[in-house]
């Protein structure tokens, strides 16, 4: 009896654990709780792309991919538990899709030697690879986003916004406060007035903030929201008849989920993005053929082509391209987490590469280096067409104001290095 039990237990463990040669990509997702509507499409996109590589190409460089999903509920404690429970299974790179979880994981991944990619979120100064060896945030970060919004406003006003007022409506959390310093610095440079309007979590009640906007009549409103805060803000803006074309959200405030509840009135609302939109790309035909039609889609298959699905797929694509780079550098298909980090640090995304993948012009071109883990700070502006119910890019990719941002990143990362006694790298 004991032997049978032991055999059954061993069989169960073997069945549950990934084969040691597999390339393991953990997916810290949130399919439940208040933010599930955003977590689901991102996770679906992330997993479907990895499944596509397995089904179509037999994995990466001949190595099969194993997806290790763990539900965080967008809860920082659960996110850390997920990390602890999956890190020993050969995880190559973590993408927690939460700034709160990111902050908790930075010291952990640094100690455990597993890279983390926080695309468009997390700690902005992690861009400095001299300090943050294991953390990457290419192709763009929060401070890039703040600068993109101001540059777009500048472009709309012939380069002079010294007589303009910009209000920042932000989630009153570490995430929401990220752009403040950048916007203040940019305000000194360009002469606009900045009004700060914090909204408490979760953001279901924003009457005070929008009454103030109605009274003070800022020329532009920039939003740093997530979840229900976005939908309520857009509805309140509609209610006070704020011009939608002067309302710009960060990329986490620019999905279909955010604009649809306000209906036709949300037409013209803008949001930043660091990747392209829609589903008119050859890779989607492959996802349909190899993933959805074979019944292997991560979700119900109803999210394909949405903004957050695209973002999840883009995250997976960047991760797998880094894995390919790592395989080339180390001349082995069965890479380790440390080798994956090398792949990420030598990643070069070119238009030729994206076109070959089936995603032409999907993201900006960028190069990651030892010093620069954040890419070139390129982003674009998208606008919502309520009639067609679709987002579309209204600008090309443009660069953030590096003259302002680079010193801020340097200052913040050096302070972190000093506090944590980190030896700077990349000097040789």
Summarize as ranges the residues that interact with other proteins (CB under 8 A).
Answer: 31-37, 40, 172, 196-202, 204-205, 207-209, 211, 214-215, 227-228, 231-232, 235, 238-241, 257, 260-261, 263, 295, 300
- The beta strands (E) that lie in 245-295 are given as 247-249, 270-273
Shortest Å distance, C-beta 383 to other proteins: 20
Using alpha carbons, select from 337, 320, 345 the residue that is nearest to residue 91: 337
Shortest Å distance, C-beta 173 to other proteins: 10
103, containing H or E segment: helix 99-112
In the complex with other proteins, which residue's Cβ is closer, 159 or 295?
295
In the complex with other proteins, which residue's Cβ is closer, 239 or 392?
239
In the complex with other proteins, which residue's Cβ is closer, 199 or 354?
199
Shortest Å distance, C-beta 316 to other proteins: 21
In the complex with other proteins, which residue's Cβ is closer, 262 or 322?
262
In the complex with other proteins, which residue's Cβ is closer, 386 or 414?
386
Per DSSP, the three-state class of 396 is coil
If 0-12 CB within 10 Å is exposed, 13-18 middle and 19+ buried, where does residue 57 land? middle
**What are the residues whose beta carbons fall under 8 Å from the beta carbon of 10, sequence distance 6 or more?**
none
- Cβ proximity of 352 and 326 under 8 Å: no
The C-alpha atoms of residue 41 and residue 305 are separated, in whole angstroms, by: 9
User: Could you identify the residue written with the tokens 């690879």?
Assistant: 129
Using alpha carbons, select from 413, 392, 409 the residue that is nearest to residue 400: 409
The C-alpha atoms of residue 151 and residue 392 are separated, in whole angstroms, by: 19
**What are the residues whose beta carbons fall under 8 Å from the beta carbon of 215, sequence distance 6 or more?**
none
- Cβ proximity of 197 and 209 under 8 Å: yes
Pairing of strands 247-249, 270-273: parallel
Shortest Å distance, C-beta 302 to other proteins: 8
Shortest Å distance, C-beta 241 to other proteins: 7
In the complex with other proteins, which residue's Cβ is closer, 11 or 196?
196
The C-alpha atoms of residue 282 and residue 279 are separated, in whole angstroms, by: 9
The C-alpha atoms of residue 186 and residue 37 are separated, in whole angstroms, by: 34
What does each C-alpha distance from 272 to 150, 251, 277, 293 come to in angstroms?
11, 5, 11, 32
In the complex with other proteins, which residue's Cβ is closer, 62 or 261?
261
> Angle, to 10 degrees, between the axis of helix 228-239 and the axis of helix 207-216?
40
Shortest Å distance, C-beta 300 to other proteins: 6
Shortest Å distance, C-beta 261 to other proteins: 3
Shortest Å distance, C-beta 281 to other proteins: 23
The conformation of residue 64, written as its DSSP 8-state character, comes to P
Shortest Å distance, C-beta 294 to other proteins: 12
In the complex with other proteins, which residue's Cβ is closer, 35 or 281?
35
In the complex with other proteins, which residue's Cβ is closer, 151 or 230?
230
281, containing H or E segment: none
């Amino acid at each position: 009896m004991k032997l049978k039990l032991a055999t059954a237990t061993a069989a169960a463990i073997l069945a549950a654990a990934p084969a040691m040669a597999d390339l393991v990509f953990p997916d810290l997702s949130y399919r439940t709780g208040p933010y599930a509507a955003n977590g689901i499409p991102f996770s679906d996109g992330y997993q479907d792309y990895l499944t596509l590589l397995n089904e179509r190409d037999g994995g990466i460089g001949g190595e099969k991919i194993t997806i290790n999903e763990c539900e965080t509920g967008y809860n920082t404690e659960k996110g850390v538990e997920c990390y602890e429970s999956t890190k020993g299974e050969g995880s190559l790179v973590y993408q927690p899709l939460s700034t709160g979880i990111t902050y908790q994981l930075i010291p952990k991944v640094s100690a455990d030697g597993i890279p983390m990619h926080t695309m468009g979120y997390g700690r902005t100064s992690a861009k400095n690879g001299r300090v943050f060896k294991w953390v990457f945030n290419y192709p763009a970060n929060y401070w890039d986003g703040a600068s993109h919004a101001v540059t777009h406003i500048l472009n709309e006003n012939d380069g002079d916004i010294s007589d303009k007022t910009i209000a920042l409506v932000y989630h009153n959390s570490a995430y929401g406060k990220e752009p403040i310093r950048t916007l203040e610095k940019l305000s000194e440079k360009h002469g606009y007035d900045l009004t700060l309007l914090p909204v408490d979590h979760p953001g279901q009640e924003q009457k005070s903030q929008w009454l103030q906007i109605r009274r003070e009549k800022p020329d532009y409103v920039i939003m740093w929201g997530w979840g229900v805060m976005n939908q309520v803000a857009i509805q309140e803006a509609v209610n006070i008849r704020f011009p939608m074309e002067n309302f710009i959200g960060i990329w986490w405030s620019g999905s279909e989920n955010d604009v649809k509840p306000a209906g036709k009135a949300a037409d013209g609302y803008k949001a930043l993005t660091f990747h392209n939109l829609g589903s008119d790309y050859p890779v989607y035909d492959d996802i349909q053929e190899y993933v959805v039609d074979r019944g292997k889609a991560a979700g119900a298959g109803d999210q394909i082509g949405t903004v957050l699905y695209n973002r999840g797929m883009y995250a997976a694509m960047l991760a797998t391209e880094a894995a390919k780079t790592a395989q080339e550098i180390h001349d082995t298909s069965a890479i380790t987490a440390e080798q994956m980090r090398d792949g990420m640090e030598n990643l070069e995304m070119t238009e030729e590469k994206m076109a070959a993948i089936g995603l032409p012009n999907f993201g900006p071109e960028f190069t990651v280096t030892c010093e620069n883990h954040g890419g070139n700070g390129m982003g674009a502006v998208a606008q919502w067409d309520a009639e067609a119910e679709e987002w579309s890019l209204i600008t090309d990719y443009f660069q953030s104001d590096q003259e302002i941002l680079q010193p801020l990143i340097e200052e913040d990362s050096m302070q972190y290095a000093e506090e944590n006694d980190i030896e700077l790298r990349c000097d040789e």
